[in-house]
Structure 1
């Protein structure tokens, strides 16, 4: 049985989630509700839940502030939040689950199912550790990206990624040290996660770290040479935007 605590400052949001859980997630036993960080800490000490439904933005401390005080506990988290691009980006980097308000029934059922699987396998802590590490990182390149593989997850420093190459439903990630990793993340998913970190999709199959481009060769679309010696063609319709990103006219 999953022992769950809801942490959200909105009574209406808590009520809606309780109703959904009672109706569609019988494996979840609610041990209580908390409206903020301080109350949540007291209830966690009292009831020892193994799952938190956690809001992020609350008046007297965020959900992240709560997690920073729970580093010694094995606890699964499903974030329940209104749209916050920074917060959601951090959560996605760490491969943790989140639900957008208003909560969708099917998404809730799926998130609870995945949480139960992680609890059963004892694999919930790594993603949380990476989330907290990323929140502390001052430099974006020091952040780590959770990369799902056939065996689980690997956590790769973003600043070590030279390029990504699509291979059908998979993507191969090439690192600065010459190692490459095959991930089940699709290219489009990686593009959305990394586009704010100086990555650019030069071709349908190639996403590159602009910081690692050594040369640009002019031609029909052009060609880039990366620090690992790889030469890649640039799609004609991506050339102008790439040159703009490279500050080349």
Structure 2
């Protein structure tokens, strides 16, 4: 499968380095264009219709997010390229979109490209990009949704509706309000990262809970949650968990 890529970064040197690394480590990509100007890139992307875009977030003319909002029906896979930006990375994680941190590490680049190629084949990029745009317009994370890939496709889940996540044999089972559950092919570690900086807390290596759904902490080392959910708290996490919960 021939995957067409387009690169956007306002720094000429950064573009040259990224192109060189892609040509060296990711031969399955064909670079069809690049630009230092987000405005020019918008026009060229609509003309060239690439499968994957490597997009810098912090640019003086227009941010990568603003550029994305300016493209009608952005049905391409995105790999954001960014210096560390907590807000940006949090937003990207929520929508299961790829990113690499500058300077791009070889292994991180290969992993991001491999994942992007898989996503191109699934043809679900437009839905993820639209959800990212929607989330960027919401300041309160409790009103945001996360994108969860499942065997059926993509599920868009409001964060407050998630009661807990449980790691099961490399997969993750999500327990939602109204007794609903779903199984994601992503590991529990993926959800720990995705839901970082929110009201979620990892009480056990296999359990991530939403603190807003806690009913009681039981002396034997369990947490009682809504919808009859009960999970253990690791002995080495109990003190930190109780302090964290009190602070909420």
Q: Distance in 2 between matches of 1:180 and 1:76?
A: 28
Residues 70-79 or 131-140, more deviating = 70-79
> Radius of gyration: which is bigger?
1
The normalised TM-score by structure 1 is 0.87
Residue 244 of structure 1 deviates from its aligned partner by: 1.8
Change (3 A) 1:112 1:234: closer
Q: Distance in 1 between matches of 2:107 and 2:202?
A: 32
Residue 9 of structure 1 deviates from its aligned partner by: 0.9
Which residue does the alignment assign to 2:113? 112
Which residue does the alignment assign to 1:178? 179
Which residue does the alignment assign to 1:166? 167
Q: Distance in 1 between matches of 2:27 and 2:240?
A: 51
Which residue does the alignment assign to 1:231? 230
Residue 8 of structure 1 deviates from its aligned partner by: 0.2
- State whether residues 220 and 236 of structure 1, in contact with CA within 8 Å, keep that contact through their aligned partners in structure 2: no
Q: Distance in 2 between matches of 1:168 and 1:128?
A: 30
Which residue does the alignment assign to 1:60? 61
Residues 115-124 or 206-215, more deviating = 115-124
- State whether residues 124 and 154 of structure 2, in contact with CA within 8 Å, keep that contact through their aligned partners in structure 1: no
The normalised TM-score by structure 2 is 0.87
Q: Distance in 2 between matches of 1:58 and 1:36?
A: 9
Change (3 A) 1:180 1:13: same
Query: Could you report, residue by residue, the CA deviation over 1:85-122 in whole angstroms, capped at 9, with x for unpaired residues?
Result: 22122112111111222223344344334433433442
Q: Distance in 1 between matches of 2:67 and 2:182?
A: 33
Which residue does the alignment assign to 1:243? 242
Helix, strand or coil for the counterpart of 2:179? coil
Residue 185 of structure 1 deviates from its aligned partner by: 2.0
Residues 164-173 or 239-248, more deviating = 239-248
Q: Distance in 2 between matches of 1:15 and 1:183?
A: 37
Matched, 1:102 2:103: yes
Q: Distance in 1 between matches of 2:183 and 2:122?
A: 23
**C-alpha RMSD of matched pairs (Å):** 2.3
Query: Could you report, residue by residue, the CA deviation over 1:173-211 in whole angstroms, capped at 9, with x for unpaired residues?
Result: 100121011122222222232232111122333221111
Helix, strand or coil for the counterpart of 1:112? helix
Change (3 A) 1:56 1:176: same
- Alignment size in residue pairs: 246
Q: Distance in 2 between matches of 1:99 and 1:176?
A: 34
Which residue does the alignment assign to 1:75? 76
Helix, strand or coil for the counterpart of 2:53? strand
Q: Distance in 2 between matches of 1:18 and 1:178?
A: 48
Which residue does the alignment assign to 1:124? 125
- State whether residues 37 and 65 of structure 1, in contact with CA within 8 Å, keep that contact through their aligned partners in structure 2: no
Which residue does the alignment assign to 2:197? 196
